[in-house]
A and B are shown apart, each in its own frame.
Chain A
Amino acid sequence: MERHHYDEMNAAPGEVRPHYRALSQWLAETPPERVMEKRREADLLFHRVGITFAVYGDAQGAERLIPFDTIPRIIPLQEWELLVKGLTQRVTALNRFLHDIYHGQEILKAGVIPAEQVLTNEAFQVAMLGLDLPHQVYSHVSGVDLIRHNDGTWYVLEDNLRTPSGVSYMIENRKMMMRLFPELFERQHVYPVEHYPSLLLETLRGIAPTEMRETTVVVLTPGQYNSAYFEHAFLAQQMGVELVEGQDLFVKEGFVFMRTTGGRQRVDVIYRRVDDAFLDPLAFREDSLLGVPGLLSAYRAGNVSLANAIGTGVADDKSTYPYVPDMIRFYLGEEPLLANVPTWQCRRPQDLAYVTDHLAELVLKEVQGSGGYGMLVGPAATKAQIETFRERLRADPANYIAQPTLSLSTCPTFVERGIAPRHVDLRPFVLSGREVTLVPGGLTRVALKEGSLVVNSSQGGGTKDTWVVD
């Protein structure tokens, strides 16, 4: 499958884009053996530090390293600034949307989005109705996935507003690059990303229910067997706050406390990396051992803040996604700065008919899916796979959306045979509290298999350091 795509490094064969020149020169000067040796060193270091992730469904329950590629992905400052404007606009509108649907529901009354689609959405939380949140912010940490199409345009692939992960790799990848190739950082100015944890802490402190006393922030993790446990522990350590599990917290007289050796201690802000359904067995799934009984009542009483808020999933749902440009127009009166991928909603008969006829050209995704599970990449699929998927689609059309196969841009990447182009995406992390901030950079994921468009770490993807340079 040979298709035209945007090459991040080369404008044309032999013509390196200006922001890649320093790197390209360095690559030409450096013997490949040295780079290979450094890659092995990186692997060793990542293993020793234990930067691993657990793979769901892996028979051995093994911890694996996410492959790290030593060739950075570079974005010029001017372009980054445009992305920042677009991301700020988008996340601001999404937060306005969340506040609206849990209050006056103006956007539904105006008929911009079909009401039943929002109100019957699984991720819509009735418990959030009428609850006022600090700064009216719901998604404090948003991981917006971007790709660059073959015309050079950036598209938003999905808005991750629940518990997006990957930011620890952004920071660790930078540390690793600076350690392995310090000389690269002398050749050009790369904007730093390592202050992300302090920005996150500032954002979390900014949503404390009261400013009367010093704020206690904690990170809530499902525990050491969660696939992103490393990141939870990493962020807690970097912010200098406690990493707690559900059993460490309890609710008494409407307040949340943690059990410490010095007695109970009040908790004001919980950066939770536990899904809505597991947060409070009294309110949601009663079989949850990961949550804190009574947490919802303390939250509703305004005695504790959660980041992200409960019920944000309704806004990053793939069936809501097609309406985000209209949200931006509705709440902000602006035209969207970042493009949306054209999307067919299979719950609409017309769209379903088109999709059924064009399965081999399209990408199909589950409305609630994430992590690259349960999707079909038409052009890369076998006939049999397409037929199997057709059955699933027919059985439950509302569960799927379809999008054209976008050609993700490529970036030079080390593979077994040397340096070759591989497809990449980009996940910047947008922090929203008193204001919207983001560090210059993000997580670049790379599909290491030739021609593959699936960048998810659970599906054989790797990561790269992401540089914003001027």
Chain B
Amino acid sequence: MLSRVADRIFWMSRQMERAENMARILGVTSNLVLFGTGERQEQNLLAPLTITGTAEAFALRHETLTLEALIAFLAFDGDNPSSIYSCLRDARENANAVRWQITSEMWETLNATWLEVRGMRRERVIGSGATQFFDWVKDRSHLFRGVTYGTIVRGEAFNFSRLGTFLERADNTARILDVKYHILLPTVKDVGGALDYYQWTALLRSVSAFETYRALYRDQIFPIKVAELLILERRMPRSLAACFDQINHALERIEGQHDHAVKRLAGELLARLTHADVEEIFQGGLHEFLTSVLADITELGNRIQRAYLGAV
């Protein structure tokens, strides 16, 4: 497959996944704000900016940090490249450039999503309208992934689409966990202490893991188990281990010429996640662990770009 085409497909999938993750983060944040007070409130509003690394860009555009300003910036600001609006626009633009290499169903899904969000009246996307909007974004992302899985030939286009999806998802899960964990348990000695039930279930819900937690652990919510679920549990589809399972599956099917560095790093990450023990992770520091995983995810993205997609 042409590098340019693979590049478009890879980013198209990343952007759609990114839009979904942003919707998840904002959905949970809107919810938490209903319960929070004082300092916790401030932290909850700041978290989405920290997770997406956009706090500075936000400060340039908005004076005060309110839920409305946050949603305006992260959901609808066309000048913010990581906003939902921008992601849906760019995913559609990338799809348009490779319309002949993807299925018409994939194109139509992204095109219709973009046309709909473009025509949306912003003032209605507040309060209960916001929740509806975030659910809609998640639905469109689910639809796109399903349409892709159900219609496209199992070839390079499929492989690069999967690669983009799961690399983006791994990145997101690691970030959410890192930021939220820090807010909820600033020091390791708090592990096992009194919990803010709503805060923890919100974290789980943001990655669709609440029911899974209940089903797998049949227990109260313990921070260490939350971390285990989101990092090491391969049955949980948004965990880091599950993402790297999929990334390695996709890479196995891609035939490249100079891609040893890509495949080695992806394999190493999977091995690390497969054999890790959650207690050990905590001994070395969860934040330190996640920071190194995030650095590796970035490096993996760079190597993918170099090996298959042409220079950036």
Contact = CB atoms under 8 A, between A and B. Distances in A.
Given A50-B99, A237-B100, A243-B100, A259 B4 contact: yes
Contacts of B99: 50, 233
B2 A263 contact: no
Given A50-B99, A233-B100, A261 B4 contact: no
Contact of A260 (B1, B96, B104, B258): B1
A261 B1 contact: yes
A262 interface: yes
A236 B258 contact: no
Interface string B1-15: 111101000000000
Contacts of B257: 262-263
Range of interface residues on chain A? 10 to 19
Contact of B256 (A233, A242, A262): A262
A100 to B, nearest CB: 38
Interface string A261-298: 11100000000000000000000000000000000000
B213 interface: no
B158 interface: no
Contacts of B147: none
B95 to A, nearest CB: 11
A380 B104 CA distance: 44
B3 A261 contact: yes
A157 to B, nearest CB: 32
Contacts of A243: 100
Contacts, number: 42
B2 A242 contact: yes
Contacts of B254: 261
Contact of B3 (A224, A233, A237, A259): A259
A244 interface: yes
Range of interface residues on chain B? 20 to 34
A237 B257 CA distance: 26
B159 to A, nearest CB: 9
A262 B159 CA distance: 13
Interface string A225-262: 00000000100110000111101100000000011111
A94 to B, nearest CB: 32
A258 B310 CA distance: 11
Given A259-B310, A263-B256, A224 B4 contact: no
A245 B160 CA distance: 20
Interface string A59-79: 000000000000000000000
A236 B104 CA distance: 16
Contact of B4 (A233, A236, A237, A247): A247
Interface string A23-65: 0000000000000000000000000011000000000000000
B39 interface: no
Contacts of B255: 261-262
A359 B308 CA distance: 60
Nearest to B97: A224
B142 to A, nearest CB: 24
B4 A248 contact: yes
Interface string B248-262: 000000111110000
Interface string B72-101: 000000000000000000000000110110
B209 interface: no
B309 interface: yes
B156 interface: yes
Interface of A: 49-50, 224, 233, 236-237, 242-245, 247-248, 258-263
Given A260-B2, A262-B256, 7 more contacts: A224-B96, A242-B2, A248-B2, A248-B3, A260-B3, A261-B309, A262-B257
Closest 8 CB pairs of A and B: A263-B257, A261-B308, A259-B3, A233-B100, A261-B6, A261-B1, A262-B255, A248-B2
29 contacts: A50-B99, A224-B96, A233-B99, A236-B100, A237-B100, A243-B100, A244-B2, A245-B4, A248-B2, A248-B3, A248-B4, A258-B2, A259-B2, A260-B2, A260-B3, A261-B1, A261-B2, A261-B6, A261-B156, A261-B160, A261-B254, A261-B255, A261-B256, A261-B308, A261-B309, A262-B1, A262-B256, A263-B256, A263-B258
